[in-house]
Structure 1
Amino acid sequence: MAGRSEPPEGTPTGFSGEDEEWRSTVFDESFIRAARIEEFSAQRRLEEETSPVRNRFAPAPESRWGSGLPAQGIVLGLIVLTALAVAVLLGTNSPYNGAIEHTSPPWTVVVPLVPGEEVPGGTVDELTAEGPVADLGVGAAGLELPEARRTEEFGREQVAQALALAKEYAVAATLTPEVLTGATVLPVRGLLRPEQQRQLDRSLAGGEEGPVATGWLIRFDPSVAALADPRVRTGGTFTVREVGAGRALEVSVALVAAYAVRPAEADVDDPASLFMVQRRLRMEFTERDLRERRVVLVGSQVAAGPADCAVDPSRELRPLFAGERPSGDAPEGGGTDPFSVLEPSAAGGTVCGTLRQTPSDGPAGS
């Protein structure tokens, strides 16, 4: 209630002082503005926990979050924290991050091919101009990929990618000069799954167990042999099939490579010789491998010569050079033709041998 106090701007004109006690109290605009309190409406006063009046000049109450932290900042922070929590949850439950694929080491077989006579020599042009070597391509161009066709579980593009990765591995592990001379293994290692990368490292370190290093890649002992020509003559075939009930694609590679080599300390004018390698590789690719551009080497078979059976070929290859002979006699038999992998029947990568019949007096129990 205003009572009988004077208006802030004095007594309004038109009233005598004698009637002051009985005159009506006047509330003009300036009086209302100067009032310290504001009375709320009846509806507002009926709301719970609401005071019927408001002090116009009282300081605004501090937020329960503190005066230095606006409500908008609190809301924004909560949104950011929620987004981070969702991202972490999705990453933890991702099917690609949760599944750890165990990768077995590949089986490897390395067989030295012992010559039956003295190793012939000559210039690089003389060695590669005649015979089956003349029909081989040079480098990666000699490995032609077949047309990619879709399978039951994999599309045409996936099959093409698997073939391309298989060729990339074959080139890195068989034709790359820096790998052949032992300067690096990165072109091969970088294509493998992480678990097989560690397996390769152990093989290169000379571990007694597990696959041999020359099953993973072809490399010469740099203290013994040097490339007379960095261009490797090669040819090969590729086949694809599904394995594991459609879980993966298997690519089989059968190739032959001809290297012109000479002794490491020889002069460039000294005669070179051909070192032949026959390789059969088997690789697998799951959908995840194709996305991550990874190769799983399942198996590798190598037959290489001319070489000496008395020399261990597991870590590095040591060729016999022009004019040299093996320390022992060559094994009996028809020998191995490195170019046999180019025949149509070799595309499947099947290796056959002869089973010697064991003499016996007759069927058991007779």
Structure 2
Amino acid sequence: MAGRADPPEGGAAGAPGAGDEEYRSIVFDDTFVNAARLQEFSAEQRAVENAVAVRDREPPAEPSLSRAVPKQGLALAMIILLAFAAAIYLGANNPYQSPRSLAAGRPAGSTVALVPDGEVPGQIDVEAIFGSGPVREFGVGSGGLELPDPKSTTHFSREQVLTALTLAKEYLTASALNPDVLVGGSLNEVRQLLGIEQQRQFDAVMDDEAGRSWATDWLVRFDRERVEMADPHVRVSGAFTFTEAAEDVLEIAGHHVFVYALRPTDSMGASASLFGVRREVRFQFGKEELRDRNVVLRQVDTLAGPMACEADPAVAFEPLLAGESAPQTVVAGIDPLVPDADRPVLCAALMPGQLNLS
């Protein structure tokens, strides 16, 4: 049974619904009616005397801000505001801010030349010269640079203390035990352990622009035109200590004696003699230096001999070798009232007999 439908040729003109085709898409729903500017009165309202059929409607009141903004929007805005405030607070109080680096000037230094009384003893047999006296108890090479048990401090963890001790050992190994450095060879192993600021100062010193800083403050070095190593293995004795110098500064101090077997250059048959260097080296580390694995060299105090009082140890040590002796003269005097005078060369007497600097 067929349903209602217009005939295929279309509805007849004037037929019911024939003129409504163009208005079929217009739907008068509740939203449209409620938004109308005119409102028709009810039959009861129109029955009142002098009543009209329709009236103008008051425009709807503007919604308040609290009603215009959805509750979800207010909550989201509040969350964003709180997050922004928290970011500002944490940025100002962040415990993980990038640490500041330490100011790294030239290291303070002092050097005392130890002058022998008489000729310097020597032997052909290097093992024999090392095997007598207190030197036979020393360690060999970096094995003599023993580290203490690292412990945490107030502001530095155990791992940070261990890193600082390790870097201090690496610096002493490079600057006082490396045969290439000892006889004026490559300096890269020493230089690369310094920060950028001290690298510039180190380069200036090595280019003979020392000022009040000496090359022998940064490292142990001999004049290779005159001296060579009779044995590349240096004997070492001493210890490291660590403490906090300030809230953000860890200080490592190395107290060591280094003993070198030396002889004249190109003299394989010449007797070897011992040359001792006692150094107290102070390093400092901040959080940035530990992160970048750099040392800050603060102070180096050195006793070195046998050496003549007239020797100039600024660029390199000038050892007295086997059979040599020091002239018994005094270097230029020191005026304590002139604070800006050139750094003096200090002298002391080396104990007679076998080398003993411990």
TM-score of the pair, normalised by structure 2: 0.66
In 1, Cα distance between the equivalents of 2:348 and 2:193?
38
Task: Flag the 1:115–1:291 CA change in 2: closer, same or farther, 3 A.
Answer: same
Report 1:102-251 matches (<5 A). Answer: 102-122=103-123, 123-244=125-246, 246-251=247-252
Cα shift at 1:328: 2.8
Could you say which residue in structure 2 is the equivalent of 1:7? none
- Give yes or no for the alignment of 1:317 onto 2:297: no
Report 1:1-366 matches (<5 A). Answer: 24=9, 95-96=97-98, 99=100, 101-122=102-123, 123-244=125-246, 246-266=247-267, 268-329=268-329, 335=350, 342=358
Q: One-letter code of the match for 1:175?
A: L
Task: Flag the 1:196–1:95 CA change in 2: closer, same or farther, 3 A.
Answer: same
Higher RCO by CA contacts (8 Å cutoff, separation 6 or greater): 2
Show structure 1 runs of 5+ residues with no match: 1-21, 27-39, 44-89, 343-366
Could you say which residue in structure 1 is the equivalent of 2:75? none
Cα shift at 1:211: 1.4
In 1, Cα distance between the equivalents of 2:25 and 2:321?
111
Could you say which residue in structure 1 is the equivalent of 2:37? none
In 1, Cα distance between the equivalents of 2:349 and 2:113?
15
Is residue 278–residue 339 contact of structure 1 (8 Å, CA) maintained in 2? no
Q: One-letter code of the match for 1:296?
A: V
Q: One-letter code of the match for 1:188?
A: V
Q: What does the per-residue CA deviation read over 1:49-97, in whole Å, with 9 as the maximum and x for residues that have no partner?
A: xxxxxxxxxxxxxxxxxxxxxxxxxxxxxxxxxxxxxxxxx9xxx9539
Could you say which residue in structure 2 is the equivalent of 1:31? none
Cα shift at 1:334: 6.0
Task: Flag the 1:42–1:218 CA change in 2: closer, same or farther, 3 A.
Answer: farther
Q: How many residues align?
A: 258
In 2, Cα distance between the equivalents of 1:311 and 1:42?
112
Is residue 113–residue 305 contact of structure 1 (8 Å, CA) maintained in 2? yes
Is residue 223–residue 264 contact of structure 1 (8 Å, CA) maintained in 2? yes
Q: One-letter code of the match for 1:256?
A: V
Q: One-letter code of the match for 2:242?
A: V
Task: Flag the 1:243–1:330 CA change in 2: closer, same or farther, 3 A.
Answer: same
Is residue 115–residue 330 contact of structure 1 (8 Å, CA) maintained in 2? no
Q: One-letter code of the match for 2:313?
A: P
User: Structure 1 stretches (4+) deviating beyond 3 angstroms?
Assistant: 40-43, 94-97, 329-340
**What RMSD over aligned residues (CA atoms) do the two structures have, in Å?**
2.8
Cα shift at 1:148: 0.8
SS at match of 2:98: helix
In 2, Cα distance between the equivalents of 1:336 and 1:186?
36
In 2, Cα distance between the equivalents of 1:119 and 1:195?
41
Q: One-letter code of the match for 2:109?
A: T
Task: Flag the 1:195–1:24 CA change in 2: closer, same or farther, 3 A.
Answer: same
Cα shift at 1:330: 7.9
TM-score of the pair, normalised by structure 1: 0.65
Cα shift at 1:100: 5.9
Show structure 2 runs of 5+ residues with no match: 1-6, 12-23, 28-90, 332-346
Task: Flag the 1:330–1:231 CA change in 2: closer, same or farther, 3 A.
Answer: farther
Cα shift at 1:210: 3.4
Cα shift at 1:155: 1.1
Task: Flag the 1:143–1:41 CA change in 2: closer, same or farther, 3 A.
Answer: farther
